[in-house]
Structure 1
Amino acid sequence: MPTIKDVARLAGVSTATVSRVINQTAWVEPATRERVEKAMRELNYRRNAAALALAKRSGDMLGLLTGNLADPFFARLARGVEEVARQHGFRLMVCSGGHQESMEKSGLDFLINQGCEVIVVHASRLSDRDLLRYAAHTPGMVLVNRYIAAMANRCVWLENHAAAMQATLHLLENGHRCIACITSDLPIDDRHQRLEGYRSALAQYGITPPHEWIISVPFNEEGGEQAARQLLDNGVPFTAAFTFNDVMAAGIMRILHQQGVALPERLSLVGFDDVVLARYLHPALTTIHYPVETMARQAGQLAIQLYRGQTPPPRSNGFCAELVVRDSVCPRVNG
């Protein structure tokens, strides 16, 4: 009796691809699907009923595709989704996409092939087209921290532009005029939206930031350290900086403390996310509170409702951020 491995060998694909074709659990290129189906016909392959039932047993599994789990932001996201899973009696399966397109795709494929039909997806690198394909085959899939107009009713997102404006305006209102933007070196939506918010706030004060004001580095502690060295070495008299997230701000603080730079007197900082460590830095970090746990809970609830064929109650899936003022911004009278 032919096996799935025999089909995969004849079609020139992996057994996972054959499984996706058989169980219709994910989008497969039409040409590839045709090769698999042709191989099944030639081998007279018959699906095992028990195995098929097992593959489709997914009513109690909620999948989460997230970013780097070492980042406290994504730990908060996972906690919010887990809370909803427990409330509804679902088991939670988590994969990390690591902000890499190939990892995000393989992670999403893994969740689907494990039988997850309820999935919350945080994907920064997969294209809109790819995500729409996955969504077409997975009615219980919801995106968090991502907005795609063609599936807006299945997206939960943050108003990043307005949040970045709020952060930058806080620095401007405190007299700062030479403000760096420490941003991600990945071409993700958050980066573009926050950069535009930063530029929009400066424009209200008649300021157009030169290209050297925008420093693109990895959005982790090491990236923050790298940004701090650039702040010190590029000769621009910055008095403030707005960072892509709080861990980057922590990296900046470490290097500046080592160099004897007084904070916030010499350089004021505003972060983004409001992770737990922000309040324990020295000085305590003024930051943008990202309601990621609330958003994650809403995404989880929405995914379960869609999976069950329920009509979600009318509500906004777009969230606003809030400025949390602590001690890392010092007024500058002379700009």
Structure 2
Amino acid sequence: MLYHPVKPNKYNMEVAGIMSSKFKTVLPEFSSVPGREEDRFVYERVVNSIISLIRDEKYEIGRKLPPIRDLAEQFDCNFHTVRKAVQLLCNDGILEKRSRLGNFVRRNTSHLVGKPQAKVQIVSMRKIGILLCPGPTEFSTPLLMELERAATAMEIQLELQSAANWDKAVEVVEDMKKTGCRAAVLTADRNNLNVKEVHRLFDRSPIPLVVGDLIAGYERFCYEPPEIYGRWYSRNSMLFQCGYFYELGYKAIAYLRRSAFSGSSKDKYGYYREFMEATDHLPILDQFVDDDSGRFSRILKEWEPFRGNLAVICEDDVEAMRLVIAASKNGWTLPEEMAVMGFNNFAFGRYVDPPLTTIQFPYDYLAKRLLVRALELSSGQTEWSAAELPAPEVVLRESCGGRRRLPEDRLRNLVTERLKAKIFPGE
């Protein structure tokens, strides 16, 4: 799960990490003199010893532990002390108590590090920080959900913090290291990314930072190696969108982008031109939008000659929805006179008229790769592990005009068989 930092205690510590060779396999010796400080926390030492027992004896998940009285004898301590330790491990999901049957191993403990200390703390060697700077966005919110799912599957503990500005981000990362984070994932608004400040953050961070962008001079912190970076995002999605409208028979395919022309925006435009030039007969209709509300009217006027046989690929759903609204105000009928497809599958795209066809951003893939790279860097590994790039996943709705040009079965066959993409379920 994603956790806001809180003071560690026996109820809020999550379990995840890698095995430590320093883990004690035998219950440490302690004094039995009543009233001593160490006696108050004997059960905490028993917690570590039970974890050690499970690990060293190679207990499989589902295997039953010895009875509590037997464990008390083995650890040379009180029955109630062991019962308290077992209950704690049940609360943490490591053990499972089955009525009248006993206690069973629920979770692999080969990755746990136990530390006898004044407060119970099963320390994670796979604790990763998540830094939001400057805060949540329409992009980062679904990514955080997938990071949580991926972390649960990978048995990683996450600590979520946000920073109002880049100066504060440095302090936040320093705090993350103090709380045991081995690396951190930086989720920032790429449209307002201050490269100079990001460089400064990389240079001052006491732990490795992983980002979703390829930043010159800091390529090793990208979740993907440079040779494949963003290929599924820029190339595969753009070629699918162009191919989709081309196969449906549209005579003009336009690309509508944001005014900022760099990074992925520039890459997408390059792939758009590549496709158009390969067709020989389709015109290149590239336009950009900014905050000028009147610009859409001017763009639509330029596109007037293609009205009725025009398809528009938008850089993301924001531009796509602005176009749909502007076209309606200027008397265009969608999708009859203009088909539109966005990118990202923002939730509110389904509520425009007509509902927006879009490409689902592969948040699940990105989340897993970000965490994998964080673990690699935290362990000193410089090379990227291999990964299978995801196929484009289209959210088929009414704005693209597909169902007006092909029967449903042929449309789905075009997407999945000819264009080798997926159809987002539930649409």
Q: Which residue, out of 239, 245, 250, partners 1:176?
A: 250
Counterpart in 2 of 1:92? 160
Q: How many pairs were matched up? A: 262
Q: Secondary structure at the match of 2:305?
A: coil
Q: Is it true that 1:215 corresponds to 2:287 in the alignment?
A: yes
Unmatched 5+ stretches in structure 2: 1-124, 406-427
Q: Which moved more, 1:316-325 or 1:285-294?
A: 316-325
CA RMSD of aligned residues (A): 3.7
Is contact 2:253–2:282 with CA below 8 Å preserved after alignment? no
Instruction: Output the CA distance in 2 between the equivalents of 1:195 and 1:80.
Output: 28
Which residue of 1 is the match for residue 361 of structure 2?
Answer: 290
Higher relative contact order (CA 8 A, sep 6+): 1
Match of 1:254 among 321, 325, 328: 325
1:235–1:88 distance in 2 versus 1, CA, 3 Å = closer
Residue number among 237, 240, 245 corresponding to 1:166 in the alignment: 240
**Alignment match, 2:176:** 115
Q: Deviations over 1:170-196 (max 9, x none)?
A: 122222232321112223311011111
Maintained 8 Å contact 2:170/2:201: no
Aligned counterparts of 1:236 and 1:68: Cα–Cα separation in 2: 41
CA contact (8 A) 1:215 1:227 kept: no
1:52 corresponds to = none
- Greater mean deviation of Cα atoms: 186-195 or 288-297: 288-297
Structure 1 Cα separation of the partners of residues 358 and 335 of structure 2: 14
Give the TM-score normalised by structure 1.
0.64
Structure 1: unaligned runs, 5 residues or longer: 1-57, 97-102
1:276 aligns with 2:343: no
After the TM superposition, which residues 20-99 of structure 1 pair with which residues of structure 2 at under 5 Å, given as runs? 62-65=129-132, 69-71=136-138, 73-84=139-150, 87-95=155-163
CA distance in 2 between counterparts of 1:314 and 1:145 reads 17
Residues 70/136 of structure 1: CA separation in 2 closer, same or farther (3 Å cut): closer
Which amino acid in structure 1 is aligned with residue 159 of structure 2?
R
In the superposition, relative to structure 1, how do residues 130 and 147 fare at CA in structure 2: closer, same or farther (>3 Å)?
Answer: closer
d(CA) in 2 for partners of 1:64, 1:328: 36
Conserved? CA contact 2:174–2:206, under 8 Å: no
Higher helix proportion: 1
- Decide whether aligned partners of structure 1 residues 120 and 169 sit closer, same or farther in structure 2, where only a CA change above 3 A counts: same
Letter in 2 for 1:189: G
SS of the aligned residue for 1:268 comes to strand
Which residue among 312, 325, 330 is the counterpart of 2:396? 325
Aligned to 2:409: none
Deviations 1:118-140 (A, max 9, x none): 22234533449964981795553
User: For the residues of structure 2 that align with 1:185 and 1:110, how far apart are their CA atoms?
Assistant: 33
State the distance in 1 between where 2:388 and 2:167 align.
27
For 2:289 and 2:277, locate their aligned partners in 1 and report how far apart those are by CA, in whole Å: 24
What one-letter code is carried by the residue in structure 2 that aligns with 1:253?
Answer: V
C-alpha distance in structure 2 between counterparts of 1:64 and 1:285, whole Å: 31
